[in-house]
Structure 1
Amino acid sequence: MSPRRAAVLRDGGGERSLREHLIATAERMISERGTIGLTVRGIAREAGVADGVLYNHFADKEELLAHALRARVRAVERGLPALPEPGSDTIEANLRAYVTHGMALHRTILPAMAGLLAQPETLTRFADLVGSGETWRGRLIGYLRAERDLGRLAPDAQVDAAARMIVGVCHEAVLSLLFGGGLVPEAMPVEPTEVDALVAAVLAGIGR
C-alpha cells in the first residue's frame, strides 16, 4: 500500500475502508458543489487516490454517485427533527411535521439531483439502493395509511393521492426556482403559512 493511500485510510481514526472514504468524499463534494461537472478524476483527486482506484470498488461512476447521493440524503435527514409516529399527537400537527421535513429535505437534495437529469442511470441506481419504505415519501404514505387504519382519518380517505399532493408541493417549491434560473437558499426557513395552507387542503379531503 502506498504511503498516500495509507494516509487516506488513517483519516477518521482508521475505521473507514477505502470504499467508504470514496463515498464520503463524493458525498462531501455533492454537498459543496452539486453534481454538475462531477468527474471520476475530480473525485479521485479529492480522495487522494489514483483515478483507476475507483473502479476497484465500483462498477462505474454512476454506482459511486448513487451511493454518495444516498449518504447525502441520510446526512440531511439526521439534521432534521424525527418524524412523528401514527397515533401520536394530532393529525394536523403530525402533517405539519411531515410537510416541514419534506420541504427542508427537498430544498437541500433536489438541487443536487437536478444536475443528474441528463444522467438517468445514476438516479435509477439511487432509487434501487433506497427502498421505498426508507424514503420520506414512503414514510409519509405509510403514516397516512396507518392513521386511516386507526380511524383517525376518513375510512375512504385517498391517502396515496394526498401523499402525491404533498410531495408535489415540496417538489414545486424547489423546482420552480431551479428551472427559473434562481438559487435555492437551503438555510431559508420553511414558511409556516405555506405549511398550514397545504395541511388544511389535505385534511379537507381526507380528514374525518
Structure 2
Amino acid sequence: MSIESSTRERLIATGLPMILERGYNGLGLQSLLSAAGVPKGSFYHHFRDKEDFALQVVDAYMREVHAGLDACLGDPSVNPLDRVRRFFASTQQIYRHQGYMGCLLGGLGQELSGVSDAFRLKIEECFTEIATRLAVCLNEARECGDLPATSDPQQLATLLVDCWEGAALRSRLQRDHAPLEAMLEFYFRSAGKS
C-alpha cells in the first residue's frame, strides 16, 4: 500500500467511528486530522471537501457490510433464514463493541437526508443494496418452504432493513441490545409460515 493510499485509508478509518459517534455536523476536520495524525493539506489532497470525505466513509462502511453479508449469507450448508439471522447477530455484536452507536447509514440518513440530496440518494442506495442481498437468501427460504409461498422476498428484505434501522436507533438511545433482539425475534416469528 502506498503512503498516499495509507494516508487516505487512515483518514477514513479514523473518521468512521468519529462520524458514528458525533455525526457529520459534529465532526470537526481539525479533530479528525489530529486523531489521524495527518496535516491539513493531506486531507484536501485526498478529498474535495468534508462531504466527499463522508461519502467515501460511507463507501468504506459498505465494504464492511458487504463483507459481513458475504460471510453470513454465503454458506449454503446453513438454512437460509439462519444465514440472514446470523448476519444481524453479527452486526449486533459490532454495535455492542462500538457502544451501541447504531448504524452509520441510519445516523447519517437521519441527520442529512433532509438537507443533502447527495447523502439521501447515497444512503437509500446502500439500504437497497443490503435489502437486495438479503432478498436472495429470503427467496431461498421461500423455495425451501421456510417462508410462505406467497411471500415477496424483496418486500420482506426491505421491511427487515427498515425494522432493523428503527431498532438500531432505539438501541442507541437506550445503549442496550434489547431493541435489536426483540425486533429480530418478532420479525422472524412473524415472517414464518402461518
Alignment TM-score, normalising by the size of structure 2: 0.66
Q: Distance in 1 between matches of 2:165 and 2:128?
A: 17
1:203 aligns with 2:186: no
Contact 1:98 1:140 in 2 (8 A): no
3-state DSSP class of the match of 1:37? coil
1:171 aligns with 2:165: yes
Q: Which has the higher helix share?
A: 2
1:141/1:101 CA distance change after superposition, 3 Å: farther
Contact 2:12 2:56 in 1 (8 A): yes
3-state DSSP class of the match of 1:83? helix
Q: Distance in 2 between matches of 1:47 and 1:145?
A: 43
Aligned length: 187
Contact 2:14 2:32 in 1 (8 A): yes
3-state DSSP class of the match of 2:73? coil
In structure 2, the residue matched to 1:37 is 26
- Superposed CA deviations along residues 97-149 of structure 1, whole A, max 9, x for unmatched, are 2443465667531464244345535525744995954x3x2321121234445
1:120 aligns with 2:110: no
Aligned partner of 1:46 among 21, 29, 35: 35
In structure 1, the residue matched to 2:15 is 26
> Percent identity, aligned pairs only?
24
Higher relative contact order (CA 8 A, sep 6+): 1
- Superposed CA deviations along residues 9-39 of structure 1, whole A, max 9, x for unmatched, are xxx9969532223222322423554434113
Larger radius of gyration: 1
In structure 2, the residue matched to 1:69 is 58
Q: Distance in 1 between matches of 2:141 and 2:42?
A: 49
3-state DSSP class of the match of 1:140? helix
After superposition, the CA RMSD in angstroms is 4.1
Q: Which runs of 4+ in 1 moved over 6 A?
A: 76-81
Contact 1:63 1:125 in 2 (8 A): no
Question: Structure 1 regions of 5+ residues with no counterpart?
Answer: 1-11
Q: Distance in 2 between matches of 1:130 and 1:192?
A: 23
Question: Structure 2 regions of 5+ residues with no counterpart?
Answer: none
